[in-house]
A and B are shown apart, each in its own frame.
Chain A
Amino acid sequence: KQEVTQIPAALSVPEGENLVLNCSFTDSAIYNLQWFRQDPGKGLTSLLLIQSSQREQTSGRLNASLDKSSGRSTLYIAASQPGDSATYLCAGSGNTPLVFGKGTRLSVIA
């Protein structure tokens, strides 16, 4: 059964810094890897979806990579801004529903 782990659990950085969030998964037969953002008390905002045949996806200041062989994905945020403060969740699926990690709570300090 797929298990997803995210490190660190919380991260605080000054504005403008580049940062990396890590996600690892146990089942390499992953089909999709998605990164989401969740603001306090709100639902999920999908950031990036990487399919198993892909290595990375980019959207604006965000870049997500997928390495199936090592069971890892990273989310790179460039030039962080206070508005990036949120919880970031990664989730993976085979031909199964998405399994979520516990998230990384990011605070970007102005």
Chain B
Amino acid sequence: GAVVSQHPSRVICKSGTSVKIECRSLDFQATTMFWYRQFPKQSLMLMATSNEGSKATYEQGVEKDKFLINHASLTLSTLTVTSAHPEDSSFYICSARDRLAGGSNEQFFGPGTRLTVL
């Protein structure tokens, strides 16, 4: 149980294009999902918290107009990198909390999406 998928697993795009990454909770419902970014040899940095049916909460320094987050259902959140540039190349990982997990704050992680912007 508690499986989170991401699609695509890898994407290469030209500078200036937009890329959408999907994060799905496969066997549970998630009112809250999180998006992290990891640069080479660095740790995971939280970008934003995605809440079902409401606006995402962005961490300081993350441009909300560049990284569009939509959490339209209890099992799907999407991250769109708009007008991507080479400096956006990174490993993007999502996670989700089980709505029915009670007091547990455990986060289940997707396998990540490697974005390369040429």
Chain A residues proximal to chain B, CB less than 8 Å: 31-32, 34, 36, 41-44, 46, 49, 51, 89, 91, 93, 95, 97-103
* Complex contact B43–A101 (CB within 8 A): yes
With known contacts A99-B46, A100-B43, A44–B105 Cβ distance under 8 A? no
Select B42's contact among A44, A51, A97, A102, beta carbons within 8 Å: A102
Select B107's contact among A42, A95, A97, beta carbons within 8 Å: A97
* Bound complex: CA A43 to CA B46 (Å): 15
7 residue pairs A–B, Cβ–Cβ below 8 Å: A36-B109, A44-B93, A95-B105, A97-B34, A98-B95, A98-B107, A103-B43
Binds A, one of B13-21, B69-77, B110-118: B110-118
For residue B106, CB closer than 8 A to chain A, the reply is yes
Interface of A is mostly: strand
Contacts of B106 in A (CB 8 A): 32, 34, 49
With known contacts A31-B105, A51-B104, A103-B43, A97–B114 Cβ distance under 8 A? no
For residue B62, CB closer than 8 A to chain A, the reply is no
With known contacts A42-B111, A43-B112, A97-B34, A89–B43 Cβ distance under 8 A? yes
